[in-house]
Chain A
Amino acid sequence: MTIDLKTVKHISKLARISLDDEKAKKLADDLNSIFEFIEKLKKLNTDKIEPLTSIAETTLKLRKDEVKSKNIRDQILKNSPNENKDFFVVPKVVE
């Protein structure tokens, strides 16, 4: 199966990565050679197999319903690109 330019552009939109035509073409070539190698899996019959869900025989750890985290707004906003002490700021979202 081949991955065409249109698919590459669609996937890049889903992944929020912009690609110009040249980069998209190179990526399509790379992906195609990678997928050729991955296609091998199709030969294997896995009809009666359950997918692996966890390595060890454990169950999900449950946490008690206690408020442990404090107000760390300064820490949370410290690395943000904007100088706003209350909010994260992003370019306007058009809905």
Chain B
Amino acid sequence: MSKTTGEYLITREKNIYEVVIGLEIHAQVLSNSKLFSSSSTKFGAEPNTQVSLVDAAFPGMLPVINEYCIKQAVKTGIGLKAKINNKSVFDRKNYFYADLPQGYQISQYKHPIVGEGTVILDMSYGQREIGIERLHLEQDAGKSIHDLDPQSTFVDLNRSGVALMEIVSKPDLRSLDEVNAYVKKIRSIMRYLETCDGNMQEGSLRADVNVSVRKKHTEKLGTRCEIKNVNSIKFMQMAIDYEANRQVDLIEDGKKIDQETRLFDTKKNETRSMRSKEDAHDYRYFPDPDLLPLEIKNDFIEKIKSEIPELPDEKKKRFIDKFNLSPYEANILVSDKETSEYFEKVIKNSDVKLATNWITGELFALLNEKDLGITQSPISAENLSKLINLIKNGTISGKIAKTVFELMANGDLDPQKVVEEKGLKQESDPKALESLIDKVIAENPDKVKEYKSGKEKLFGFFVGQAMKVSDGKANPKLVNDILKKKL
């Protein structure tokens, strides 16, 4: 794949194919209760303990919509720069499955709550604008557990009825890197808005991937296949790669591609046809007669707009404009809401450049090593800020600061205290340094001679000696200045 142009192409003897990808992301809405019932949505509960009569589709049970879920969908739509529809309709999507107690899913078909929007991706080769087709609300299904018993499938309905936002992209993605960036961006926007926690391990973010291929420079889209329920970015990439190659092989063999639904087998790393969904094309959508059309007034939308926090794109622009960060640096700092919050806390009282370097450098390395997220950082933003100030005001050198940093990580220690206790203060008194340097010079007469006769590289030797004698505490800049004078 080309890094400069982002092209992801599949080459065969005579033909070059490009891959066209669209994603349908299913994001669980952050809310206390489910979309149409008042059961809890908490993850990890004992099976069937968060199931109401409505969720289990008992006779005579009826749906009542959760106001907050509507807000969350509208918020997300605003974050996707999308059109919020004043009128939308809930439809029944009819099919039979063990984890679908009603025998239909309440979803939205022709009139979704959110219409077209865009998402901007920052790729190494420039910005890419990915179109959003729509966002709609729908019920999540329960869970079918196939491996507890050889003859039976066990069904847990805790998840049945939890609100999902389905975000459908236009078929604008062209590479595995773009898929990665797209999912991360959507996830980031929703985490900023607190409309979805984006936790792929817990299943709060999943995707169906639509893949088709076409010969390079053709306009017409090829037949697409849908790969359902992929729950990690890595698997998405593997699935797309396998599927695209499968389709290309078929075309090269002169065969037709059947439009079908497939699964990604994570053990065999291949996609295969889903038998149970064969007849399920005909969902017989019709407006749910237990619900009325949903009307969203403009002032409701405006009110939500006014409550939206600064989103990654805006924040990035502000960081670049106001703080002079590079786009690359800004990107790293805004990609995660918590990181940007940490950064902004640090720079409240300390130097931006240093903060940027220390966060993206030392802090990230520490977090990676300990496998922690920034919210679990062993060093708080306040203390990191203090450390940076100690560097800036010359109390310690940058090198010593690294030592202090490591010590601070054991219990989020105050850097001032660490410096004092360990006596790490930088030596910046010119008189002290002068006498120190005089000593070094006096102790190395032949080196002095060599230097004076032209071996300029030996300058570093004297600096090194001065640092050694001072236990690294000598102010490097002053050492340099004084040495220059004396030599």
Chains A and B in contact, CB within 8 Å? yes
- A64 with B67, Cβ < 8 A, contacts A73-B51, A95-B275 known: yes
A36 within 8 A of B: no
B292 within 8 A of A: yes
Q: Which residue from A63, A64, A69, A87 sits with its C-beta under 8 Å from B154?
A: A87
Q: Which residues of B contact A84 (CB under 8 A)?
A: 154
Q: Which residue from A58, A65, A93, A94 sits with its C-beta under 8 Å from B292?
A: A58
CB of A9, distance to nearest CB on chain B (Å): 12
B70 within 8 A of A: yes
Q: Annotate A67-95 by CB proximity to B: 1 below 8 A, 0 otherwise.
A: 11101110111000000101111111111
Contact, CB under 8 Å: A59 / B153: no
Contact, CB under 8 Å: A76 / B152: no
Interface residues of B toward A: which range? 35 or more
Interface segment out of the listed B8-16, B42-50, B174-182, B236-244 = B42-50
Contact, CB under 8 Å: B146 / A93: yes
Whole-angstrom CA separation of A93 from B155 in the bound complex: 11
- A60 with B146, Cβ < 8 A, contacts A67-B32, A91-B151, A95-B274 known: no
Q: Which residues of B contact A67 (CB under 8 A)?
A: 32-33, 38-40
CB of B327, distance to nearest CB on chain A (Å): 38
Q: Which residues of A contact B383 (CB under 8 A)?
A: none
Contact, CB under 8 Å: A61 / B33: no
Q: Which residue from A14, A60, A72, A93 sits with its C-beta under 8 Å from B293?
A: A60
B287 within 8 A of A: yes
Q: Which residues of A contact B279 (CB under 8 A)?
A: 13-14
B144 within 8 A of A: yes
B372 within 8 A of A: no
A47 within 8 A of B: no
Q: Which residues of A contact B38 (CB under 8 A)?
A: 63, 66-69
Q: Annotate A35-74 by CB proximity to B: 1 below 8 A, 0 otherwise.
A: 0000000000000000001100011111111111101110
Q: Which residue of A lies closest to B153 (CB)?
A: A93
Contact, CB under 8 Å: A61 / B65: yes
Whole-angstrom CA separation of A60 from B49 in the bound complex: 29
Q: Is the interface of B mostly helix, strand, loop or mixed?
A: loop
Contact, CB under 8 Å: B52 / A91: no
Contact, CB under 8 Å: B67 / A71: no
Q: Which residue of B lies closest to A89 (CB)?
A: B152
A16 within 8 A of B: yes
- A62 with B292, Cβ < 8 A, contacts A67-B32, A68-B33, A72-B51 known: no
Contact, CB under 8 Å: A62 / B70: yes
Q: Which residue from A54, A69, A87 sits with its C-beta under 8 Å from B155?
A: A87
Whole-angstrom CA separation of A38 from B64 in the bound complex: 33
Q: Annotate B258-285 by CB proximity to A: 1 below 8 A, 0 otherwise.
A: 0000010000000000111001001010
Q: Which residue of A lies closest to B90 (CB)?
A: A60
Contact, CB under 8 Å: A94 / B50: no
Contact, CB under 8 Å: B293 / A54: yes
Q: Which residue from A60, A65, A72 sits with its C-beta under 8 Å from B31?
A: A65
Contact, CB under 8 Å: A66 / B32: yes
Q: Which residues of B contact A53 (CB under 8 A)?
A: 89, 287, 292-293
B167 within 8 A of A: no
CB of B404, distance to nearest CB on chain A (Å): 46
Pick from A13, A76, A84 the residue with the most CB of B within 10 Å. Answer: A76
Contact, CB under 8 Å: A89 / B40: no
Whole-angstrom CA separation of A14 from B95 in the bound complex: 8
Q: Which residues of B contact A58 (CB under 8 A)?
A: 292
Contact, CB under 8 Å: A63 / B67: yes
B233 within 8 A of A: no
Contact, CB under 8 Å: A87 / B65: no
Partner-B contacts on A (CB < 8 A): 13-14, 16, 53-54, 58-69, 71-73, 75-77, 84, 86-95
> Can you name 17 A-B pairs with beta carbons within 8 Å?
A16-B96, A53-B287, A58-B292, A61-B65, A63-B38, A64-B66, A66-B38, A69-B40, A71-B49, A72-B52, A86-B47, A87-B154, A87-B155, A89-B154, A91-B153, A92-B152, A95-B263
> A66-B33, A67-B38, A71-B50 provided; 9 other pairs, C-beta below 8 A?
A54-B292, A64-B66, A65-B67, A69-B37, A73-B46, A86-B48, A89-B149, A91-B153, A94-B276
10 tightest A-B CB contacts, nearest first: A65-B68, A62-B67, A68-B38, A69-B52, A87-B154, A88-B155, A71-B49, A69-B39, A60-B292, A67-B40
